[in-house]
A and B are shown apart, each in its own frame.
Chain A
Amino acid sequence: MAIIERPTPAAPVVVTPTETYGLLKRPVSSTGWRSWVFTIDHKKLGIMYAVTAMFFFIVGGIEALLIRLQLAAPNGKVLNADLYNQMFTMHATTMVFLFIMPMAAGFANYFLPLQIGARDVAFPRLNAFGFWSLLFGGIFLNLAWFLGGAADGGWFMYAPNSGPVFSPSNGVNFWALGLQIAGIASLTSAINLIITVLNMRAPGMSLMKMPIFTWMITVVQFLLLFAVPVITVALFLLMFQRNFGARFFDVAAGADPLLWQHLFWIFGHPEVYILILPSFGIISEVLPVFSRKPLFGYPFVVFSGAAIGFVGWGVWAHHMFASGLGPVSVAVFSVATMAIAVPTGVKIINWTLTMWGGKLWFTTAMKFAIGLIVLFTVGGLSGVTHSIAPSDTQQTDTYYIVAHFHYVLFGGSVLGIFAGFYYWWPKVFGKMLSEKLGSWNFWLMIIGLNLTFGPMHILGLQGQPRRMYQWTEARAGEGFFNLAFWNSVASIGSFILAIGILIFLINVWVTSRNPQRAPLDPWDARSLEWMTSNPPKEHNFDVIPTVHHLDEFFHRKYEEDEATHTMKQITTAEDLIAEQERNADRHIHMPSPSYWPIVLAFGLPVIAFGLIYSYLIAVVGGVIVLFAAFGWALESSTAPESDFENPNSSAELVKHD
């Protein structure tokens, strides 16, 4: 990785690190694995986040298929009860914390700086540290599978079920510590991206000219900033209870089991918006582009997003209607929950009206976006049925809840993520994903999704409890609503869904082998990230753009025709970017790669391992962390001026090893 880059010609210039702080000189590799492992480039980190998330998506998906295999027929024998508990716990934990959140972080890292016309993020090394914490935390969490069994208390890990009496294996310890480490990634990314948005927008980009994806990501970062510490507290209490004999959830000592539930859901409800808002952001970019119209009611979409961010803090107890909160609390939280459906509905109306009267272009990205609108609405409606407390008392802990959250999470978050893949692939990799395979990908996913999760509404209302590891013929009932039929439909559906996702992976592979390059602006897009080369240069923009409009890129390509009041194209992306290249800034110093983020992050699982097995190991981890922290503090994020080769000299590249 080059530390200084001259925009033209493209050859990167290498630097010699002169200063040594701590023990190690700065890494300087610009190619090979080192350029990834020590990178602090937000685009590389974005890709690394996404690849990690995709890996965990596959892991979580396999776990899901095993669950559906077990339930496909009566008296399932695929998993025993204990393994089944581990499977659904780890499935949900993986999907929420190791797939959707990191995938959103990947999109955010890659595109947020590009969308605001910045060359990097506010804290590049912190960014790298966040990624490595996530990766190590995720691996640590899954190590439990091989060390005596994974966590088995459900993803919300209610107390006192999570205590050593009911969960004697180390699974819950791995779970609590692994999530703690992965949570660091969320906290650092929140601080990093919030400051990036506040401080590093291109000149002229006021908050209300910011692309909507960036807006939604910003709301999510604020949610993370305040929600992560709450689960951190809960996880600490759990860990202290399990490892150091604290009594927090010990009912015999007079503990209140609802403490955990409150802490978890004060985090947990904002969390569901953390999971959905990035996808709302993605499709709010995709829909206008493929409707050839600006987003309808941009300020409404922004403010309803922010409103969701605020109201989302006041509804957590709707997850606890059946826990005996008392009638007043239940009534208050019930009404608040109904209220939160309003800003959500506002968004759906905005998207629909964006398409209304537009020249619709049904690309795969667009199809996924429309899929989100439809299926998320289904999930939102079942959500409103849970908000009515008496009705929820019937539904809670049944498959009806499972249907709800899969419609909002799969039909919402995941479809949005896929819309993002197809929309931004040419930007990131310079190649177009195949639309033909994309169509298969989309339709198989939609069919599979509805076959899998649709029947769960019926199963739930018929009384099938969630987290039940077997069902029997005798209790399946008969007629149209018998459990046997709908369970097998759901299981068949899950395999169709899996094939749909497999086709996506095939599409990626096929595309990577296709030599054809994507055009610079394949979709005639609107926002600044498209005003860069494909893929963007390391410093993103040759010239930092000055922003005059929402949809700045569009307004540079199009002008209103005075006579007819229609927009007419005045220039192309190719010309705009060529012009930037001609006027490129010289002498751009990018922040420099560093060893410390990965070293520091590596210390964390070592400490966690030590807490479970031997304090001696924890001490070693502590030393690693301290050592890395000092190295980090003593190294400035951009290499000193004297390290850079003078871009005007004709000197040979400085050799280094």
Chain B
Amino acid sequence: MTDVAHGHVGGTGISNVKLGMWAFLGSECLLFGGLISTYMLYRGRVTGGPRPSQIFDIPFTSVSSFVLLMSSLTMVLAVSAAHKDDDRKTNLWLTVTALLGTTFVGGQVYEFTAFYKEGLGFSTSLFGSSFYTLTGFHGVHVTVGIIMLMSLVGILTRSSMPGKKAEVVEIVGLYWHFVDIVWIIIFTLVYLIPV
């Protein structure tokens, strides 16, 4: 009798890795919860620096938010292609997702630069510190996601991935969707609701 101790589907019927990603995302909820609470506490404290309404460019950020949302769609297409074992399409959609993500991060870099020029530095005020920390953390999450997507593409091309391909794509997808959902919350709370 053969028993491979790993990679098997156990008690819950969900694989270890996928369930592990779910647990990790549960933990991430509290990470962002803490950061968002900090921002909400401090967003009105500007000590002479610019206030949120003076610097936010809502149309711009709406567009970049839309781009990020679309990347969730392309991620879904990638997962579905992976399930159909279509390597070419999987690669294509993963790459598009990564590009959309990169566009979003690029937008964020542009936005940060613009805000900085308008006088909102990291140390300017409590608003500044907590704004850059919250959105920066999110940006880092997107960036990590992009790295994972591009690595996936690289690995799929070399076709030397341990484990089931479709599952790995799906798990990276879980992370990606989570990061998108967090952005929707951040966008609403930070940009749309006035102080």
Residues of A within 8 A of B (CB): 21, 118-120, 122-124, 187, 190-192, 194-195, 198-201, 225-230, 232-234, 236-237, 240-241, 244-248, 250, 253-256, 259, 263, 539, 544, 585-591, 630, 633-638
Residues of B within 8 A of A198 (CB): 10-12, 19
- By a CB distance below 8 angstroms, the chain B residues around A250 are 126
Least CB distance from B166 to A in Å reads 16
Q: How far is the CB of A592 from chain B (nearest CB, A)?
A: 10
Cα separation A504 to B9 with both chains bound (whole Å):
43
| A229 and B16 contact, CB distance less than 8 A | no
- Taking CB as reference atom, which chain A residue is nearest B47? A253
Known A-B contacts A198-B11, A259-B41, A638-B6; A246 and B129 likewise in contact (beta carbons under 8 Å):
yes
* Known A244-B122, A247-B129; contact A191-B23, beta-carbon cutoff 8 A: yes
B4 touches A229 (CB 8 A): no
CB distance from B95 to the nearest CB of A (A): 18
Which of B27-35, B78-86, B96-104 touches A? B27-35
**Chain B residues positioned under 8 Å from A246 (CB to CB):** 122-123, 129, 133
Cβ distance B54 to chain A, nearest Cβ, rounded Å: 18
Which residues on the A side are within 8 Å of B28 (C-beta)?
Answer: 229
Q: How far is the CB of A236 from chain B (nearest CB, A)?
A: 7
A254–B30 CB distance below 8 A: no
Task: Please provide the 6 A-B residue pairs with the shortest distance between their CB atoms, ordered closest to farther.
Answer: A199-B10, A636-B162, A233-B34, A229-B31, A246-B129, A245-B123
Listed A/B pairs (25) with beta-carbon separation below 8 Å? A119-B3, A190-B23, A191-B24, A194-B23, A198-B11, A199-B12, A200-B16, A226-B30, A230-B31, A233-B31, A233-B34, A233-B35, A240-B129, A244-B123, A245-B123, A246-B133, A247-B125, A247-B128, A253-B45, A253-B125, A263-B34, A589-B4, A591-B5, A633-B151, A638-B5
Min CB–CB distance B13 → chain A (angstroms):
9
Q: How far is the CA of A198 from the CA of B23 in the complex (A)?
A: 11
CA distance A259 to B40 in the complex (A): 12
A226 to B160 CA separation, bound complex (whole angstroms): 35
> Which residues of chain A have C-beta atoms less than 8 A from B125's C-beta?
247, 253-254
Q: Cβ of A122 and Cβ of B20 under 8 Å apart? A: yes
Residues from chain A with a CB closer than 8 A to the CB of B12 are 198-199
Write out the residue numbers on chain B whose beta carbons fall within 8 Å of the beta carbon of A120. Answer: 5-6
Q: Does B61 contact A (CB under 8 A)?
A: no
Give the docked Cα–Cα distance between A246 and B123 (Å): 5
**A250 → chain B closest CB, angstroms:** 8
Question: Is there an interface contact between B27 and A187, defined as CB atoms closer than 8 Å?
Answer: yes
Closest beta carbon of chain A to B32's beta carbon, Å: 8
Q: Please tell me if the beta carbons of B123 and A199 are within 8 angstroms of each other in the complex.
A: no
Q: In the assembly, what is the distance between CA of A590 and CA of B2, in Å?
A: 11
Cβ contact within 8 Å between B1 and A586: yes
Tell me the bound Cα distance from A281 to B144 in angstroms: 38
B20 with A195: CB separation less than 8 A: yes
Known A-B contacts: A240-B122, A246-B129. Give 18 more (CB < 8 A): A21-B160, A187-B27, A199-B12, A200-B10, A200-B11, A200-B16, A229-B29, A237-B38, A245-B123, A246-B122, A248-B38, A248-B129, A250-B126, A253-B125, A255-B126, A588-B5, A589-B3, A638-B4
For the complex, what is the distance from the CA of A585 to the CA of B125, rounded to whole Å? 65
Beyond A198-B10, A233-B34, is A588–B3 a contact (Cβ under 8 Å)? yes
- Check B151–A254 contact: CB distance below 8 A: no
Residues of A within 8 A of B5 (CB): 118-120, 539, 588-591, 638
Which of B2, B30, B130 has the most CB atoms of chain A within a 10 A radius of its CB? B30
A362 to chain B, nearest CB (A): 39
Q: With A and B bound together, what is the CA distance between A599 and B130 in angstroms?
A: 33
The reply to whether B6 and A199 contact each other, CB–CB distance below 8 Å, is no
A225-B129 CB under 8 A given contacts A233-B34, A245-B122: no
B3 and A122 contact, CB distance less than 8 A? no
**Do the beta carbons of B122 and A585 come within 8 Å of each other?**
no
Q: Give Cα distance in the complex from A190 to B30, angstroms.
A: 14
- A124 neighbours in B (Cβ, 8 Å): 6
Instruction: Kindly list chain A residues whose C-beta atoms are within 8 Å of the C-beta of B195.
Output: none
Residues of B116-166 contacting chain A, CB below 8 A: 122-123, 125-126, 128-130, 133, 151, 155, 160, 162-163
1/0 per position for B22-62, CB-CB distance to A under 8 A? Answer: 01101111110111001001100101000000000000000
User: Which residues of A lie under 8 Å from residue B4 when comparing CB positions?
Assistant: 589, 638
Chain B neighbourhood of A232, CB < 8 A? 31, 34
Residues of A within 8 A of B33 (CB): 229-230
Q: Using CB atoms, name the residue of chain B closest to A116.
A: B11
Q: B7 contacts the other chain (Cβ, under 8 Å)?
A: yes
A254 touches B16 (CB 8 A): no
CB proximity of B157 to chain A, nearest CB, Å: 13
Q: For residue B3, which residues in chain A have a CB less than 8 angstroms away from its CB?
A: 119, 544, 585, 587-589
In chain B, what residue has the closest Cβ to A256? B41
Q: How far is the CB of B101 from chain A (nearest CB, A)?
A: 18
Whether the Cβ atoms of A195 and B19 lie closer than 8 Å is: yes
Smallest beta-carbon distance A390→chain B, Å = 28
* The residue from A195, A248, A544, A589 contacting B23, defined by CB atoms under 8 A apart: A195
Residue of B nearest to A262 (CB): B37
Given A122-B20, A588-B5, A226 and B26 touching (CB < 8 A)? yes
Candidates B19, B24, B47; contact of A199 at CB < 8 Å = B19
